[in-house]
Structure 1
Amino acid sequence: MSSGTKVRLPGEIWVLIAAAFVIALGFGLVAPVLPQYAREFGVGIAAASAIVSAFALMRLLFAPASGRLVQMLGERRVYLAGIVIVALSTGACALAQTYWQLLVLRSLGGIGSTMFTVSSMALIIRVSPPAARGRVSGVYSTSFLLGSLLGPLVGGALAGLGLRAPFIIYMVALLLVCVIVFLGLRDSPILSAEEKAGAPAFTFRQGWSEPAYRAILLSSFAGGVAVFGVRMAFVPLLVVEILEQDSGMAGVALTVFAAGNAVVLFASGRLSDRFGRKPFLILGSAICAVGTGVLGFAPSLPWFLLASFVAGLGSGMFSPAQQAALADVIGTRARGGPVLAAFQMAADLGTVLGPIAIGWIAEYTSFGVGMAITGGLLAVTAVAWLFTPEPSRIVHPEDPAHPDHAGDGIDPQCTCDGSDGVPVVRTGLVPSQRPTDSDPSR
């Protein structure tokens, strides 16, 4: 692990972080008004909610294609194309004349969104120094979180402009981001040199051969279920129906969760570079499991808010380490579009299925049982990480020399699994030759 030396981050990272902030800010601007805007076309609550579901569904369905596009066209092209698609489809929403036009346009936005998500992860991995992957993930996640929190506040200040105005504002912001990213990455020495040399492909099969990647997919799915699915669906119901509070307190509970995230996001990512990913993946998943599991049993609002904060702390601990572990598996020089797409699909699948499955359980039992099962799923991921080799000890032959291993005398043919503190070295192997689980050398 890192000796504590500060690694300077390339300028490309700050361009992508600034873009993430603006994108999250705009999404937070549009999301709160979208169901109400749909209702303006005379549809019911279910149809209005379907606008949100359509966006998520298209993200899920188009993720594999986005991964293939990254492999074929490169990260920058897919990133810019995804932002343009979201920008134009969002701006067109302001001009929609019927509900069905709005539904189609938001669906197109979901396609662009998954193109942006997969390619942005690939770009961050590509330009991040191996010894600072956790720090980069923490800063990137923090910028996205801050944008998401400020978006609704900006939207409230602009409420007098009408329901269509946020869509136009978001479109303009996205087009501005597109220009900034194009100019900021156009002359990138890191990306240009590797595109000329030709980045090796890293397939899903190669990723699946790594125990760390299998644990990442499980963790991503569990996070989708608990953090993005069940929490968003159940917190308003728990606050209103169980605690008998005003619906506005549901927003407070969601904000408290975000505050727990913000407290530890940056620090956990940075410290995972020094102490490894596993401590934060295990402890973060366990803490989030406890906070989530007790939400359904909270006897009063203060206890409910405390549980929300604890769950947010846990989520903030494991999220940056999880993204950094994904970068550890792929490496800096490989192009892992399908691997990134599967990671995103796991989270989206959990987001879609979680509220349905846990909702069915809660309907026939109780909210407490449903939340306990959700917390249990997070606990399972914590146990899985206990038996998974440390991801940050994977060293790729095609990556730049990792400062932590420079001159340390590691045998270039070593294929240790990292469980004893020895790096997992793939030196001398091109990506297509990486050992599989059936390889006796592992």
Structure 2
Amino acid sequence: MSGNRPVSRGWFWMLIAAAVLGQIGLNLSRPLISYKVLALGGESLSVGMTSAAYALVPVAAALWLGRVTDRRHSLKGVVAVGSLLLAAGPFVLAVSPSLVLVTMASAILGMGHLCFTIAGQSAIARFVPPGNMDSAFGWFTASFAMGQMIGPLLAGLALGPSQGVPAEVRLIDANTALLMAGFISVFAVPFAFGTAAKHAPTVKPDAAMPTRPDSVAALLRYPTVRTNMVASLALLATTDILVAFLPLLGEDKGVPPVVVGLLLATRAAASIASRLLLPVLLTRWSRRTLVISSLAGAGTTIAILPWLFHVSWMAGLLLAIGGFFLGLGQPITMTLVTQSVPHASRGAALALRLLGNRLGQVTLPAAAGLLAGPAGASGALWMSCAVLAAACILWPPDKPGTG
């Protein structure tokens, strides 16, 4: 981004604060959706379908929203809309009396997450210098992991340590916790309105690069875009499946909700650590090596998890290791996609990456729900491990000078 005027970093920390609060509310809500579905009489298939609905509606809007962010001078409005939807979703969930309305409320949460994520990623791609991009994406995804750590922990505390609670009591507890999630998300909105950068970048066009945005077909012709879409899809879908199906695995293995919440928080804390350590890790290993390690390490540890889930300390250790690897790959894929396409197409490329994530979030949890019927929640986790292994195999051989 040579030729850019200096950009105040205050907007960035406002974005991080909004992300932390919004993601706490989101990730407090999402495990509660599973418990609410069970309390309303749903089964594993219903859990998979509500998780898929979280991603289904945003699929249609992802590319359009990416083009919008490429055209807008300020991304503050899109960030604010995302925060408002993230705040509205838990309130709608809390008052939803049926599985149909719970599924619709899950879609509202998904749309809020999409708006916030695309706008936030596009702002970083536009206003952060290339040399600082890994670190900035690391902080941004670490803020998401912070929400993924605190949210499930609060959900577990809200539902308590008891097993075999009557459905009516579980439903009341879940609705109360969902209201708490909504109020937490509301506090993200003022920060979202402070995310406008003080100066717009003045990028000098590169004669070798087109100034008009690439089409979707053109973006998919970039090998880096394709491979990182697949890697990102596998990592994010696995995280979603853990959030949706660990409560079911806990019910199967006799692990109370408060322990499940602590285990999900452990996974997220390890992801925060890996993302904040990313600048240090990149001094020793290439981006490609770290992404492949992320896929292989996460798949191996999560595959072992169902056999040892009833031993709390072993489950915590496995989720800490797996969480470290799960967190490692996401910010790197953002940087690789951003730097592989022309500046005018960065928002669209990041949206295309996120579209791949959403397609994975639609199909894989639904498939996991179907598999969890005959094979139990363990089968859902093993399916996600198979996807991670496939994404790892699809990466092309390394080339000299790539990183």
With the shorter chain as reference, the TM-score category is: 0.7 to 0.9
Corresponding residue number in structure 1 for 2:126 = 126
Alpha-carbon deviation of 1:121?
1.1
Alpha-carbon deviation of 1:122?
1.0
Alpha-carbon deviation of 1:104?
5.5
| Superposition TM-score, scaled by structure 1 size | 0.70
Q: Secondary structure at the match of 1:245?
A: coil
The aligned amino acid for 2:134 is G
In the alignment, the residues of structure 2 paired with residue 278 and residue 287 of structure 1 have an alpha-carbon distance, to the nearest angstrom, of 14
Query: Does residue 141 in structure 1 map to residue 141 in structure 2?
Result: yes
Cα distance change, pair 70–189 in 1 and its aligned pair in 2 (3 A) = closer
In the alignment, the residues of structure 2 paired with residue 171 and residue 366 of structure 1 have an alpha-carbon distance, to the nearest angstrom, of 33
2:233 to 197, 221, 231: 221
Question: Deviation string for 1:343-371 (max 9, x for gaps)?
Answer: 11222222232233234345445766654
In the alignment, the residues of structure 1 paired with residue 247 and residue 176 of structure 2 have an alpha-carbon distance, to the nearest angstrom, of 26
Corresponding residue number in structure 1 for 2:62 = 63
Question: Deviation string for 1:365-415 (max 9, x for gaps)?
Answer: 57666544432321232233352x5xxxxxxxxxxxxxxxxxxxxxxxxxx
Indicate if the aligned counterparts of 1:296 and 1:368 stay in contact, CA closer than 8 A.
Answer: yes
Alpha-carbon deviation of 1:205?
2.6
Cα distance change, pair 27–370 in 1 and its aligned pair in 2 (3 A) = closer
- Bigger-Rg structure (1/2): 1
Alpha-carbon deviation of 1:215?
0.6
In the alignment, the residues of structure 2 paired with residue 85 and residue 293 of structure 1 have an alpha-carbon distance, to the nearest angstrom, of 37
Identity among equivalent pairs (%): 20
Corresponding residue number in structure 1 for 2:270 = 260
Corresponding residue number in structure 2 for 1:14 = 13
In the alignment, the residues of structure 2 paired with residue 322 and residue 352 of structure 1 have an alpha-carbon distance, to the nearest angstrom, of 20
Query: Does residue 116 in structure 1 map to residue 110 in structure 2?
Result: no
Alpha-carbon deviation of 1:291?
0.7
In the alignment, the residues of structure 1 paired with residue 349 and residue 143 of structure 2 have an alpha-carbon distance, to the nearest angstrom, of 24
Alpha-carbon deviation of 1:137?
1.7
Cα distance change, pair 234–102 in 1 and its aligned pair in 2 (3 A) = closer
Cα distance change, pair 36–15 in 1 and its aligned pair in 2 (3 A) = same
Indicate if the aligned counterparts of 1:218 and 1:381 stay in contact, CA closer than 8 A.
Answer: yes
Cα distance change, pair 86–48 in 1 and its aligned pair in 2 (3 A) = farther
Question: Across the two proteins, how many residue pairs are aligned to each other?
Answer: 375
**Mean Cα displacement is larger for which, 146-155 or 109-118?**
146-155
Indicate if the aligned counterparts of 1:79 and 1:116 stay in contact, CA closer than 8 A.
Answer: yes
Corresponding residue number in structure 1 for 2:314 = 303
Alpha-carbon deviation of 1:189?
4.2
Extract unaligned runs of 5+ from structure 1: 1-7, 390-418, 424-442
The aligned amino acid for 1:209 is R
In the alignment, the residues of structure 1 paired with residue 385 and residue 51 of structure 2 have an alpha-carbon distance, to the nearest angstrom, of 25
Alpha-carbon deviation of 1:234?
3.2
**Mean Cα displacement is larger for which, 320-329 or 99-108?**
99-108
Alpha-carbon deviation of 1:153?
5.8
In the alignment, the residues of structure 2 paired with residue 72 and residue 309 of structure 1 have an alpha-carbon distance, to the nearest angstrom, of 40
Extract unaligned runs of 5+ from structure 2: 1-6, 159-172
Question: Deviation string for 1:252-276 (max 9, x for gaps)?
Answer: 3222222322332211255336643
In the alignment, the residues of structure 2 paired with residue 175 and residue 239 of structure 1 have an alpha-carbon distance, to the nearest angstrom, of 34
1:206 to 190, 201, 218: 218
Indicate if the aligned counterparts of 1:135 and 1:273 stay in contact, CA closer than 8 A.
Answer: no
Matches within 5 A, 1:144-293: 144-151=144-151, 165-166=179-180, 169-170=183-184, 172-182=186-196, 185=197, 187-190=198-201, 193=202, 200-229=212-241, 231-241=242-252, 243-272=253-282, 275-293=285-303
Alpha-carbon deviation of 1:150?
3.0
**Aligned Cα root-mean-square deviation (Å):** 4.1
Q: Secondary structure at the match of 2:282?
A: helix
Indicate if the aligned counterparts of 1:223 and 1:350 stay in contact, CA closer than 8 A.
Answer: no
Matches within 5 A, 1:364-403: 364=374, 371-387=381-397
Q: Secondary structure at the match of 1:336?
A: helix
In the alignment, the residues of structure 2 paired with residue 293 and residue 254 of structure 1 have an alpha-carbon distance, to the nearest angstrom, of 16
Matches within 5 A, 1:32-111: 44-45=41-42, 54-73=53-72, 76=75, 79-80=78-79, 82-83=81-82, 85-86=84-85, 89-90=88-89, 93=92, 107-111=107-111
Alpha-carbon deviation of 1:111?
3.0
Corresponding residue number in structure 1 for 2:24 = 25
In the alignment, the residues of structure 1 paired with residue 82 and residue 380 of structure 2 have an alpha-carbon distance, to the nearest angstrom, of 37
Q: Secondary structure at the match of 1:374?
A: helix
In the alignment, the residues of structure 2 paired with residue 282 and residue 259 of structure 1 have an alpha-carbon distance, to the nearest angstrom, of 21
Corresponding residue number in structure 2 for 1:324 = 335
Corresponding residue number in structure 1 for 2:167 = none
1:313 to 309, 317, 324: 324
Q: Secondary structure at the match of 1:380?
A: helix
The aligned amino acid for 1:420 is P
In the alignment, the residues of structure 2 paired with residue 38 and residue 285 of structure 1 have an alpha-carbon distance, to the nearest angstrom, of 30
Cα distance change, pair 269–202 in 1 and its aligned pair in 2 (3 A) = farther
| Superposition TM-score, scaled by structure 2 size | 0.76
